[in-house]
């Protein structure tokens, strides 16, 4: 377990593979995550990369001013639909496209992204919808029609 924000920052900067693994996989108390995102906001990208950072922290940094942070959050498979919806309306198309590629993006979010203003985001969302339908058929399930984005 990561005990302090300073420990997280040291692990983040380390070139030791064992430290990298800890930084990616070790949990930390909520107070540590809060300190990181309030006092060391430049670490938000790295907070999003940690596989145990709490959803409430991811929700907070999903509104970061930096595209790289929002993209990292969009890549995270454990984000909830409310976070996905926020990112589906992100001003940066690369964030929306990253979300469309997220295997845990909900059908409703993919439907929203399938109507995106950018063709490459729409194409990604359509591809993911087709893949999901093909998976349902392969599993012997009756494919579900995509939900309306509204």
Across the range 122-145, mean pLDDT stands at 89
Q: State whether 12 and 75 are in the same domain.
A: no
Q: State whether 82 and 52 are in the same domain.
A: no
Across the range 87-98, mean pLDDT stands at 98
Q: Using an 8 Å Cβ cutoff, are 99 and 113 in contact?
A: yes
Q: State whether 30 and 98 are in the same domain.
A: no
Across the range 91-107, mean pLDDT stands at 98
27 phi and psi angles, rounded to 5 deg: -85, 170
* Banded pLDDT at 147 (limits 50, 70, 90): low
Q: What is the DSSP string of 21-71?
A: HHHHH----HHHHHHHHHH-GGGHHHHHHSTT--HHHHHHHTT-S-HHHHH
Does the pLDDT value for residue 14 go beyond 80? yes
Does the pLDDT value for residue 149 go beyond 80? no
What does the pLDDT read at residue 18? 96
Does the pLDDT value for residue 72 go beyond 90? yes
Task: Count the neighbouring beta carbons within 10 Å of the beta carbon of residue 128.
Answer: 21
| Domain of residue 41, residue span | 1-61
Q: Residue with structure tokens 């399938």?
A: 114
């Amino acid at each position: 377990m990561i005990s302090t924000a300073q420990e997280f920052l040291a692990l983040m900067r380390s070139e030791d593979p064992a430290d990298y693994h800890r930084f990616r996989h070790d949990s930390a108390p909520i107070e540590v995550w809060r300190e990181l995102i309030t006092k060391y906001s430049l670490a938000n990208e790295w907070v999003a990369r940690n596989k145990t950072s709490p959803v409430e922290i991811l929700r907070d940094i999903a509104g970061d001013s930096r595209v790289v942070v929002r993209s990292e959050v969009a890549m995270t498979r454990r984000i909830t639909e409310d976070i996905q919806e926020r990112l589906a309306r992100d001003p940066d198309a690369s964030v929306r496209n990253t979300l469309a590629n997220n295997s845990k993006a909900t059908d409703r979010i993919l439907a929203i992204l399938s109507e995106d203003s950018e063709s490459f985001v729409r194409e990604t969302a359509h591809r993911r919808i087709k893949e999901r339908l093909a998976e349902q058929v392969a599993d012997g399930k009756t494919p579900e029609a995509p939900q309306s984005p509204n």
